[in-house]
A and B are shown apart, each in its own frame.
Chain A
């Protein structure tokens, strides 16, 4: 058990409101990721982090920002939510000390933007 929790698990919000999703890990793994998953698409990387205050953009980073002020927490923020950001968001970690493809995922956060 990689000890990853996401919150909230479900959220309904309105267009234009800010939303923050939290990913918390109980172990000091270096690499953390935020993905979104939509029907007909593969998982798409939004942002990732390779340490405290070290983050980088993924392929679909527009409209999203992240912060990692502590090893255990990786926050994803939608500054002004849009309907196109309705999705299931997964946080993931790599238990290795480097960026590998063997990821452990949180349970997901289902976001609906009306």
Chain B
């Protein structure tokens, strides 16, 4: 079956760095996506990886290892506004997105 695993909840301190991990199992693979969702709001696209390696975008970076079925989202210089859920999604061979349940990130002062 197809599956995405990510931690349910993480806590970090303002100004620190946090890494949110995601492992996936899909039938075929056409990319790994990260979305941010603030409470009560819609998800918004953060990043896309299809090749192995690190993609950096400001304070956020996303890493992919296709051989390990593994990705992480790295958030640096955490700000209170980064408190949100982070959704990992993998695209299978039929170009369907398989979504994880999300990781709720709590930022403490």
Contacts and interface: CB of A to CB of B under 8 A. Distances in A.
Contacts of A103: 43, 45, 97
Contact of B97 (A40, A101, A105): A101
B97 A45 contact: yes
Interface residues of B, number: 21
A102 interface: yes
A106 B42 contact: yes
Contact of B89 (A42, A59, A107): A42
Contact of A105 (B30, B33, B44, B96): B44
B48 A105 contact: no
25 contacts: A40-B101, A41-B101, A42-B89, A43-B43, A43-B97, A43-B99, A44-B99, A45-B96, A59-B96, A90-B42, A99-B95, A101-B30, A101-B31, A101-B33, A101-B48, A101-B89, A101-B91, A101-B97, A102-B33, A103-B43, A103-B45, A103-B97, A105-B42, A107-B42, A108-B42
Closest 4 CB pairs of A and B: A42-B99, A105-B42, A43-B99, A101-B33
